[in-house]
Structure 1
Amino acid sequence: MMCFPHLSLSPKLRGGAFALALGGLGAGMTPLPAQAQVTAFKQAIAEAASVDDGVAAFYRENDYLPIWTGAGEKDRARRSALLAALSNLSVHGLPDRSVEVARLTEQMQNARTTRDIGMVEVALSRALVEYANDIQTGFLVPSQIDDGMVRVKPEASSNAFLTGIRDGQPTTFIRSLAPKSSQYRALMKEKLRLEGLIQDGGWGPTVANRKLEPGQSGPDVVALRNRLTSMGYLERSATMTYDGSVEAAVQRFQAEHGLEADGVAGKGTIAEVNKPVQARLKSVIVAMERERWLPTERGERHVLVNQTDFTAKIVDHGNITFETRSVIGKNQSDRRSPEFSDVMEHMVINPSWYVPRSIVTKEYLPQLKENPNAARHIEITDNRGRQVDRSAVDFTQFTARSFPFAMRQPPSRRNALGLVKFMFPNKHNIYLHDTPAKNLFSREVRAYSHGCIRLAQPFEFAYALLARQSEDPKAFFHRVLNSGKETKVELEQNVPVHIIYRTAIVSSKGRPEFRRDVYGRDAKVWAALERAGVVLTSVQG
């Protein structure tokens, strides 16, 4: 960690040159009138800050007074805190900025004129703003990494950052910039733990990639036993048999890695057991970056959908109060579920399915060209919503671009949306809903939809949402459901929805859990971080 309590200036500028309002520059330099110094300093700041509107606004409001380059102790404390923070970014899984620290140090050491000092002043402010943005709202721009990562990062204020460092205790203020969520703190702790494991040699030898199950014995079982022991899932033992203790350890491992917890170490389980510490550390670092992308205020009640976990949860005051399995978009370019946050406003009981245009033209139009009576369960409607007589239309004349009709599936138990959908209107046309395809929820990997999120327990999800506005939410829901009519039910309290993608999480019990990178997005995020300079310890684990 590098600290610079005093700027190392040329002899001409030592002794108060940074305190421009104090008058005289150093001995041996032809002095300028005090007002000329102030004017030159302000002009230098205005020029240097003009490339950043937020920084420029701060200095205008601050009457171009310095916050870094004065001779007082507060300015020295700010410089020291900033340069120390820039030298310690790896703690947050962010790219090393030692080159920038060296450049800033050199710029300070080489300051010769009042103009030079003004340039140093702005350089330090811009370094703080960049640091604050990176650590508070993320280093990367999600949409530049993957077109399914449509999340908009929280806005940050350069003016607020600079005002904060000016008015607060510098070290305390800089420490306050990182996300305050319990998840972020837990991920930081897990990062340190994994880095220590790498230095200690990792989890030891890997296990042969073949199925192992209770009752077996031999060297492969011993290798599995040893690996699970070093990971913390099994107490040390001398057993060479896949006994009850090994089976229980496998089940715990499976549960914490999104696998079917059957206690059998199949090839999928063995593949996850064999993942090196480095792979898990990458997931944690990526998760920290993703945590920075989320809104600071998640909502005291919010819905959290983790795509890699295939779950949807209702969270109240930080505690999970409802959880159900989910199905997400199929791993195809036009079906993957996007990541974003929005606000749930209402639910629709007995919904119609208004077929998205992409599905109409890609899936149903080819069927209609072959057979006008295809997909009879779906109505074809004109631009006024009137049902079209299929027998009167030659569907072969249309292309995907010229097809003039819409398609709608009326409410029913066979409806693609099931019997209820939960709406948070968004430009991606994504929502949560029921489904008649209940068999998919028993599968380990549940990526089958066109992009929307299907829920295994949609009725119970509805009851939980309605509980705050109905004395008997279940009775209310079924009264509307039994009417058979498409009914919009407003939520008296809108609920934020966060659709996220995390392959590393820390549970409420403090246990690290990992999931597979089902869409390959985390690999892209890691590659971008690595290109920017994030590095791992090279010891293999």
Structure 2
Amino acid sequence: MKSTIFRYNRVLITSVFLFLSIQYSFGNQEDIANQIRFRFETDQPKERLEIRDIPLASGDGLFPFYTAREFEPVWSENGILKEMAYELRFEIKQAKYDGLNPKDYHLDLFDAFFESFEQNKEAGVTNEIADVADLDIFLTDAFFRLAEDLEVGRVDPSVLKAEWEIPPIVANTDYGHLLTEATQGGQLRSYLVSLYPKFMMYRNGREVLRAMENTEEKDSLDWKEIKINKSIKPGDSNSDIPLIRERLRFWGYLSDSSDVGSKNYDSALVDAVKEFQKENGMEDDGILGKLSILALNQSPEDLIDKISVNLERMRWLPDTVDNSEFILVNIANFQLDLIDKLDTIHSAKVIVGKRYHESPIFMADMSYIVFSPYWNIPYSITRNEILPSIRKNPNYLKEKNMEVVTSAGKVVDPSTIDFSSKSFPYWIRQKPGGSNSLGLVKFMFPNKHSVYIHDTPARSLFSREDRALSHGCIRLQDPAKFAQILLESNRGWTPQKINEAMHLDHEEIVNLDRKIPVVILYLTFWADSNGKGHFRPDIYDRDQEVLKALRN
């Protein structure tokens, strides 16, 4: 009898454990929901919610999201992963074409989970509830983080040393609601794509990055840095010419059959260099100078980093210029574009701030034009440049068509001033005229930086490749043409009247009949409407800081 009871109890206990095991492993939605609830309701003294000692980037948004759905799992049904879970993993892998690192979105973890679940399926073993619950939270966390990074950028530009004062786009998407819609409507990708910047250059830039990734996979060059002491000119012989030939052949500017061993800078190579220079925004003169060599030293890996940095910058830009008229100045491209309804109406070369006098990145509204302007010289330039020149040459003010004024604008006789004194309670301004440093016209968009767009008497500088030469303001080529376009809707402002206004002995201020947004930004890469990628030198050395923040 004892033996029978013992056998009965053993069978009963075994059955209970088997039942519990099945309940734990197989799990219905309620069991998994309870496990998810347990993860959030466990008292954790840490600042961030962690699962398996892994911090969750979207901790603040996860709890209300799961609470609203009573902790029901998103990515599985009765312990079996939905197709949408695999779709999200695919989209995370595709994030590399946004310049993002897929590993920042738990990719390694998902690969391990998915492999384990596949092995369980092949072995006929069910997935454990704890694993299904944890994976669900990780997947949701990854979706929230990826969605936010696509919408507003991964890096906060306000924490960078290099100031970026364009008002950033504000995240106004409820990612929980977005995910709920995606689960109901399918096509997870379309919901993520809806978060991309609205600029076509972003989507085209992604495709350039995709192509560059493919190019990088085929790359077998060593990309040793080429260094030159002086420019290499057509007809020269140089030991670095074989490397230059090799790289131009790699990028498709020389045929595969071309001889890369020759050290002579022959006509075929000159033609290839000119095409390369033109494609990279340089003067196509065939002379291999600093900028040409700098561009030739960039490997596919370097260009992948450059594209990634600038896709991130594009994600910082607000969508406030969709179809409106605006003026775009890309510092790194030394160019101004007037854009209306997404069409480029006018383009012109510009000169921007040199190193240590860098042009700031910001937005403001252009509201008026000043013809025949005075140049009110900033005090820093007065102190560091003008006053020392006056002390050396008493006729300096007269020669430069300058005058001294009080803060109220009253002209002061310079003979009454002791310029050797440390104290100088005046301002110096340059009178209107052809020698005025602002040229014959300036375009005003009031801002805290006192930066504006203006003419210049030194027009020969526009022929230079590197045009980072100013104290921060933007010097414009052919400003009369620009003024004509801006004043087309202002009655009476004919080209003749504009020319007359530019040659007065006093200022003339003309208010525009509308305010035009001016966007001064810094992009060392962009893709045009035809999908072609454009790369420019990082003249202010700002890319590395963004790249480091993006990769960390």
Identify the TM-score tier after normalising by the shorter chain. 0.7 to 0.9
Alpha-carbon shift at residue 337 of structure 1 (Å): 0.9
Deviates more, 1:507-516 or 1:410-419: 507-516
Alpha-carbon shift at residue 176 of structure 1 (Å): 1.8
> Which of 167, 179, 193 matches 2:211?
193
The answer on 1:348 being equivalent to 2:370 is: yes
Q: Deviations over 1:76-114 (max 9, x none)?
A: 6776655554454323212344574677999xx9987xx
Alpha-carbon shift at residue 133 of structure 1 (Å): 2.8
Q: Deviations over 1:149-202 (max 9, x none)?
A: 33332111253x333333354432122212242212222222222222222124
> Which of 205, 214, 231 matches 2:251?
231
Q: Secondary structure at the match of 1:342?
A: strand
Whichever residue aligns with residue 501 of structure 1, its letter is Y
The answer on 1:288 being equivalent to 2:294 is: no
- Relative to structure 1, is the Cα distance of residues 482 and 299 closer, same or farther in structure 2, using a 3 angstrom cutoff? farther
Whichever residue aligns with residue 133 of structure 1, its letter is E
- Relative to structure 1, is the Cα distance of residues 284 and 478 closer, same or farther in structure 2, using a 3 angstrom cutoff? same
Q: Secondary structure at the match of 1:489?
A: strand
Q: What corresponds to 2:359 in structure 1?
A: 337
Q: Secondary structure at the match of 2:502?
A: helix
The answer on 1:516 being equivalent to 2:537 is: yes
Percent identity reads: 30
**1: distance between equivalents of 2:244 and 2:231?**
11
Deviates more, 1:463-472 or 1:171-180: 463-472
Q: Secondary structure at the match of 1:346?
A: strand
Alpha-carbon shift at residue 495 of structure 1 (Å): 2.3
Indicate conservation of the 8 Å contact 2:352/2:359, yes or no: yes
Number of aligned positions between the proteins: 494
Is the radius of gyration larger for structure 1 or structure 2?
2
Alpha-carbon shift at residue 272 of structure 1 (Å): 2.7
Q: Deviations over 1:291-313 (max 9, x none)?
A: 21222233533222222221212
Q: What corresponds to 1:445 in structure 2?
A: 466
The answer on 1:154 being equivalent to 2:169 is: yes
The answer on 1:424 being equivalent to 2:439 is: no
Alpha-carbon shift at residue 327 of structure 1 (Å): 0.8
> Which of 302, 308, 311 matches 2:326?
302
Q: What corresponds to 2:95 in structure 1?
A: 89
The answer on 1:383 being equivalent to 2:407 is: yes
**2: distance between equivalents of 1:523 and 1:338?**
18
Whichever residue aligns with residue 140 of structure 1, its letter is V
- Relative to structure 1, is the Cα distance of residues 143 and 263 closer, same or farther in structure 2, using a 3 angstrom cutoff? same
The answer on 1:17 being equivalent to 2:55 is: no
Indicate conservation of the 8 Å contact 1:55/1:125, yes or no: no
Q: What corresponds to 2:515 in structure 1?
A: 494
> Which of 237, 253, 278 matches 2:301?
278
Indicate conservation of the 8 Å contact 1:19/1:71, yes or no: no
**1: distance between equivalents of 2:449 and 2:180?**
42
**1: distance between equivalents of 2:405 and 2:144?**
54
Indicate conservation of the 8 Å contact 1:312/1:324, yes or no: yes
Alpha-carbon shift at residue 336 of structure 1 (Å): 0.8
Indicate conservation of the 8 Å contact 1:328/1:448, yes or no: yes
Q: What corresponds to 2:193 in structure 1?
A: 175
The answer on 1:409 being equivalent to 2:427 is: no
- Relative to structure 1, is the Cα distance of residues 130 and 343 closer, same or farther in structure 2, using a 3 angstrom cutoff? farther
Unpaired runs of at least 5, structure 2: 1-21, 50-55, 114-126
**1: distance between equivalents of 2:456 and 2:23?**
73
**1: distance between equivalents of 2:23 and 2:371?**
75
Alpha-carbon shift at residue 422 of structure 1 (Å): 1.3
Alpha-carbon shift at residue 347 of structure 1 (Å): 1.7
Aligned ranges 1:221-260 → 2 under 5 Å: 223-238=243-258, 244-260=267-283
**2: distance between equivalents of 1:208 and 1:63?**
61
Q: What corresponds to 1:465 in structure 2?
A: 486
Aligned ranges 1:108-119 → 2 under 5 Å: none
Q: What corresponds to 2:73 in structure 1?
A: 69
**2: distance between equivalents of 1:188 and 1:122?**
29
Q: Deviations over 1:342-390 (max 9, x none)?
A: 3222222222222223323333345566777653433332232222333
**2: distance between equivalents of 1:99 and 1:390?**
67
Superposition RMSD in Å = 4.4
**1: distance between equivalents of 2:416 and 2:290?**
55
Indicate conservation of the 8 Å contact 2:232/2:289, yes or no: yes
Indicate conservation of the 8 Å contact 1:213/1:264, yes or no: yes
Whichever residue aligns with residue 450 of structure 1, its letter is H
Indicate conservation of the 8 Å contact 2:364/2:445, yes or no: yes
Q: Secondary structure at the match of 1:17?
A: helix
Unpaired runs of at least 5, structure 1: 1-8, 27-36, 533-541
Q: What corresponds to 1:30 in structure 2?
A: none
**1: distance between equivalents of 2:231 and 2:460?**
26
**1: distance between equivalents of 2:62 and 2:211?**
42
Q: Given the two structures, how large is their TM-score scaled by the length of structure 1?
A: 0.76
Aligned ranges 1:366-381 → 2 under 5 Å: 366-367=388-389, 374-376=396-398, 377-381=401-405
Whichever residue aligns with residue 183 of structure 1, its letter is M
Alpha-carbon shift at residue 450 of structure 1 (Å): 0.7
Q: Given the two structures, how large is their TM-score scaled by the length of structure 2?
A: 0.74
Q: What corresponds to 1:536 in structure 2?
A: none
> Which of 365, 379, 383 matches 1:357?
379
- Relative to structure 1, is the Cα distance of residues 212 and 67 closer, same or farther in structure 2, using a 3 angstrom cutoff? farther
Indicate conservation of the 8 Å contact 1:86/1:98, yes or no: no
